[in-house]
Structure 1
């Protein structure tokens, strides 16, 4: 028995240049899939080909050659320019300029042709002057694409557009120079049903011009939607750090670009900085805000040996981290890849639209020819038959057929990523019509996702104002999210805080300092124990009760006595109740999903 030939699975994404409609994507996809060992999907909205191939039998250059044989260009990853791209350059500007100029010329043409009261002597020659630049220059992208397709023996939606607009223009030239449409005093009224024998007396300049403007507008809004969706994904990926302080073998720091960071490198993360990449904490303890990845507003305490995710924000002390994943392997990059895969994939309804658009163009051209032959066969003159055939071509430009689904998918996934919603694939969007239950994460979805003061329990003669004035001033000097919640509450109620002297951040424990002559501690019970400060039963009970509800409780002490418990928590959004009610009105059953205890979940759900 002959041994099976080895195969090496490979994957490549190639930007495609020159596609103008879904028929183009369909044809390129067929060309690529004819190669042995190749499975390709071409998405018109993202202008990319995603190809799985056998690296033993097929080389990337063969893939690019197959695309070129179809009349388009493919950019292999190694061919992409390495320089930085100016993101401020608006690639839709040329198309917008073409659209505006064409619209300014086409609208007067339409008004002159449709309103007899505006048709002065020889108005038709002015209409020709206005419409000609629109049909020839404005529609040039369609003509160019149609010619490129013709050279490869194919037809696309651009073919219909080009033939239809040029046919209207050429017929108008015939009517003006050979027929009776160029005579002084010629008027043209708007009729729903054409009359036999009137073709040579009418011009169709407004048809070619307005159709061009509408199609240019569609292309422009499509390009703008792509740009915005791409910007949303770019914004997601740019949440990571741009540079990092790397430690060499001698412990000396040097600041480098994050792209130069390698697996195994040690780097420093200071309070307030973003973690450069995924890694493991080697030294230091700190609270780290991982809400980007987890949605949890409460910072996670990190200790040596803990795994830490890139793009997290260090809210506490200094950390030394060893990089374990860099570049495309990080959690943030995988999120971006998930969004990109969703945009590149095709929903079942999009595949159906692609198949229809692949046969639509030749069918329409066939119908136009059949229309021409039918009217000639029934005894109508050539002008009437030709008018009917041109009408078939003009109205049969099915841009929405191949554009609606991929553009909706592109915009939906891009906007979702911008709002923190990851859509796994195109089939997910299409299947939402069958959804009957919606699961809502608590933190950041039903709740605000940010900490705020919810309660203060004090002992003896200590008032709420005393606690906010003294503890709030000390916490105002800290970067910790819990400290910020306390400081913000103090500012809201009392205004600007008092000055702090001798501020010290005790990593993983709390903060110390002097406020208005009082030696103040704010933090965990272990910080109080370090100063041999006992906690009263009343405050201990208040702290435990708050923690049972999933809230964060810190202790405040000054002048040698623990005086208060400050309770901080994530609060329910003001709009959550309305949103849940709206979901119920849609027939959906909302379910709250949380890692907190049952008491917290029930309190939020209520």
Structure 2
């Protein structure tokens, strides 16, 4: 299957769009054709063996519309156009036509209506004797307006001839009837003057209707002007994204720094970035460091610290430092280009609820023309005369608005998907935006979704007060660096993160399924599970309780011993992501049934589930079995959301009603998903569901008002209330009502721009830190903690520290305190803005305060 986008020209209302959709869908080999009237884009999925772009273009042109494929194979690094958007050109064109039309319509309206309310008119046009000159003047003022708005007649009558009437057909027929009737009256007046028949002249002198034709055209043009302006605002999200890419880049060529157009940047080019620069392409930092603002791409408001080896994204803004990076993705392969493509495809897709409006729009115009003709005939039959009956028929034609129905869904989807993109939530299509808010069950993968996806040290428990946690971690990490086990990597990384100096171990030996041993200095150190300790005849003693407690929490306890004595336990676990518990709690408060699927063992799975508040946990699930569990839930009548990030999640993501992939997950998972979260924050799922519900609510409001408008307006225009109440709708007021019905629908869709996700404060919780990464916290019995406070005359102290805003601040505060001799066991809490540490009596409190203040973090003892 091949998917191609086409730019359509010549459409004037949603009836045109529906006709094009029907025509293209009838082509053999076309799987689907979806058109977005707001963006004038047609997305066609077809079998390239049976259909070509040329065949599709010819089919569209046979209906009288223009079509051109949107650059199917652009140049590798061709930048997206930043020129004046198409809708801006349309706005200027409509505005100019409106202004010139008003120049002729205002005096025309004055001449036609002024005498009725006693306003003065020029003497050569006043009085019964000048009625014919007055009528001719009105005709000559009407003709320029007819010419300026000739596209209504060209498109409308052409559509009628092809038996696909649209809104232009309604306008063309209605205003043509007014114009032709006015010309007929003009000849009747000439006949009356020729034969001095004053009764005839007086009878027809107020039935010209030239002003009705002109005013209807002007009002509809005014409505189109406001509608086009409003529709333009729905695509501002894409314009903002396109504007993110800079037009040039500084690269190293022939060992010199040169500035080149962005399209000339090649893969592996060395790109230079200075403070304030926008990053031109995706890449990997080679030298330097800085903080980078990625908020417009990911929705993350806090700048992210970048160092050598980190990736940078095209369109993000460099804040402070300077660095050099290697270009890894350029042109249409950059993250920014792919985001733009996803948003464009989502805005061009159609939500299931749109089918209601599509079906009605298909028959709407023919039915309205039938009602108009029937109304005219009934009033003629009742004896109300040609003028009255014609006025009724024209009113029915010009008050009917198929566009309000057709715009109800796509405009809301455009604004909703654009708002999602601003917040780092990418909807791939309209159906996913709609279905997400209707779903009642959500299923999470564990590893990499609820958890970080990599093991970290979570606990350091000491059983020998003569050693410090740093020493235990240093010796263990020195031994573990000889091992390739993932747990070993976590311990080594923790030691390096805390600037501990590792030493070489000798006589290293690994015991599969039990642990490792090695000699450091004079110490033969053992690190492993109880089986290894039993093998070495090391008594476990009272550690069993701590060991089982850590195991029950889903952690892997590593027992450390030397000299035939237990020295401590280091707990390692795949840590829970920040906000996981908060997100699960909020989802449950929204009424969703929450499940977790994992291939991990049941003990760990249950511990993780308990920590984040998930009761429905299924463990030991093989990758291909995940999709079966999703299917079973669907067979129970549930609408299922699947959240995952790995290759093994792809089948489940595809099977679910809506698949959500974490943005830093694998390409396969992202490809299989319907929604992509650019941030690694599960609270964005809550935001996405709320946005979906808000968009669906907006669509329903739009459809309701569009239906109500036509349901009330058409009978009123047909004269239903004339006999009982004497109420009759003037065609000019009908035209005004029609014009602003579409505008009101678009404006209501634009109200989605004010969307802000809200947490249910009643269910706001603090994350459970049972499996959270530590900063040398000592989790031990109360007795051991008390002993440690006394050992070496050390005291535990707590500081209140200001100005900390991120984990980088935490690291700086930690490094500052660890650099002061006599201080250890530093624990920094970013959430509380507090630091707990242990210090000997020799440490001056004033020195601690001064050191933190000099680092930019004012502090005070609690």
Same topology, TM > 0.5: yes
- Provide the aligned length of Structure 1 versus Structure 2: 473
Which residue in 2 is equivalent to 1:220? 225
1:361 to 362, 365, 381: 365
CA distance in 2, matches of 1:338, 1:552: 44
CA-to-aligned-CA distance 1:14-63 (integer Å, 9 cap, x gap) = 11010111011111111111112211111111111111111121111111
For 1:22-421, what aligned pairs fall within 5 Å after superposition?
22-38=14-30, 39-78=32-71, 86-87=83-84, 90-91=88-89, 92-110=91-109, 112-114=111-113, 116-118=116-118, 120-121=126-127, 122=131, 123-134=134-145, 136-179=146-189, 202-248=207-253, 251-375=255-379, 385-411=389-415, 413-414=417-418
Query: The residue matched to 2:830 in structure 1 has which SS?
Result: helix
CA distance in 2, matches of 1:240, 1:231: 15
CA-to-aligned-CA distance 1:266-306 (integer Å, 9 cap, x gap) = 33334443333222333444443333344444443334333
Q: Aligned in 2, Cα 1:208/1:548: closer, same or farther, shift over 3 Å?
A: closer
For structure 1, which runs of at least 5 residues remain unmatched after alignment?
1-8, 188-196, 448-466, 469-481, 486-507, 511-521, 554-559, 570-606
Contact preservation (8 Å) 1:222, 1:407: no
Contact preservation (8 Å) 1:199, 1:387: no
Contact preservation (8 Å) 1:245, 1:269: yes
Q: Aligned in 2, Cα 1:199/1:423: closer, same or farther, shift over 3 Å?
A: farther
CA distance in 1, matches of 2:225, 2:191: 34
User: 1:113 Cα shift?
Assistant: 4.0
Contact preservation (8 Å) 2:296, 2:422: no
Give TM-score, length-normalised by structure 2.
Answer: 0.47
Which residue in 2 is equivalent to 1:488? none
CA distance in 2, matches of 1:405, 1:355: 13
CA distance in 2, matches of 1:233, 1:356: 30
Contact preservation (8 Å) 1:287, 1:315: yes
Query: The residue matched to 2:285 in structure 1 has which SS?
Result: strand
CA distance in 2, matches of 1:284, 1:396: 64
CA distance in 2, matches of 1:224, 1:101: 19
CA distance in 2, matches of 1:298, 1:185: 85
Q: Does 1:565 align with 2:558?
A: no
User: 1:12 Cα shift?
Assistant: 1.0
CA-to-aligned-CA distance 1:530-569 (integer Å, 9 cap, x gap) = xxx62675xx89x84453537999xxxxxx9982425989
CA distance in 1, matches of 2:376, 2:113: 25
User: 1:169 Cα shift?
Assistant: 1.2
Q: Aligned in 2, Cα 1:232/1:362: closer, same or farther, shift over 3 Å?
A: same
Structure 1 residues 343-352 or 370-379, which shifts more? 370-379
For 1:470-489, what aligned pairs fall within 5 Å after superposition?
none
Q: Aligned in 2, Cα 1:568/1:215: closer, same or farther, shift over 3 Å?
A: farther
Contact preservation (8 Å) 1:176, 1:182: no
CA-to-aligned-CA distance 1:399-432 (integer Å, 9 cap, x gap) = 4233344344445545665687756644576679
User: 1:328 Cα shift?
Assistant: 2.2
CA distance in 2, matches of 1:391, 1:446: 46
CA distance in 1, matches of 2:259, 2:830: 41
Which residue in 1 is equivalent to 2:532? none
Which residue in 1 is equivalent to 2:522? none
Structure 1 residues 323-332 or 266-275, which shifts more? 266-275
CA-to-aligned-CA distance 1:49-98 (integer Å, 9 cap, x gap) = 11111112111111111111111111123499999664289412121021
CA distance in 2, matches of 1:270, 1:201: 74
Q: Aligned in 2, Cα 1:162/1:568: closer, same or farther, shift over 3 Å?
A: farther
CA distance in 1, matches of 2:205, 2:224: 33
Query: The residue matched to 2:151 in structure 1 has which SS?
Result: helix
Query: The residue matched to 2:246 in structure 1 has which SS?
Result: coil
Which residue in 1 is equivalent to 2:830? 547
Query: The residue matched to 1:168 in structure 2 has which SS?
Result: helix
Greater gyration radius: 2
CA distance in 2, matches of 1:186, 1:426: 65
